[in-house]
């Protein structure tokens, strides 16, 4: 069943959080995510150590089901899973 039109966010016990300074914009999370939950945005970002990117990856929490695949596959460990209800 496609969840593209369904809100799966309420299924989660953990949510992924992307550290934009650790992200190298490799797109791996976007490729592996089984839901349409990783957004590839035309949003420039400059990291604290001065790397410039034209795109930013963000999580669409309305569609993320909290499976953790993105965090597992990220080559720089830029994504961590945070328990729901816990502030970052």
Regarding 39 and contact with ligand SF4 (CB under 6 A), the answer is no
DSSP tally for the chain: helices H, then strands E: 2, 6
CA 69 to CA 33: how far, in whole Å? Answer: 7
Regarding 9 and contact with ligand SF4 (CB under 6 A), the answer is no
Quote the least distance from Cβ 87 to ligand SF4, whole Å: 18
Among 45, 53, 56, 68, binds ligand SF4 (CB under 6 A): 68
Residue 13, CB-side half-sphere exposure with 13 Å CA sphere: 1
Tell me the number of residues near ligand SF4 by CB under 6 A: 26
**Sites of contact with ligand SF4 (CB under 6 A):** 16, 18, 23-29, 33, 35, 37-38, 57, 59, 64-70, 74, 76, 78-79
């Amino acid at each position: 069943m496609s969840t593209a039109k369904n809100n799966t966010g309420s299924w989660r016990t953990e949510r992924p959080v992307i550290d934009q300074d650790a992200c190298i914009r490799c797109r791996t999370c976007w490729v592996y995510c089984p839901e349409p939950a990783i957004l590839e945005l035309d949003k420039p970002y400059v990291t604290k150590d001065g790397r410039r990117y034209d795109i930013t990856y963000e999580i669409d929490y309305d569609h993320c089901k909290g499976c953790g695949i993105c965090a597992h596959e990220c080559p720089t460990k830029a994504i961590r899973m945070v328990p729901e209800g816990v502030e970052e």
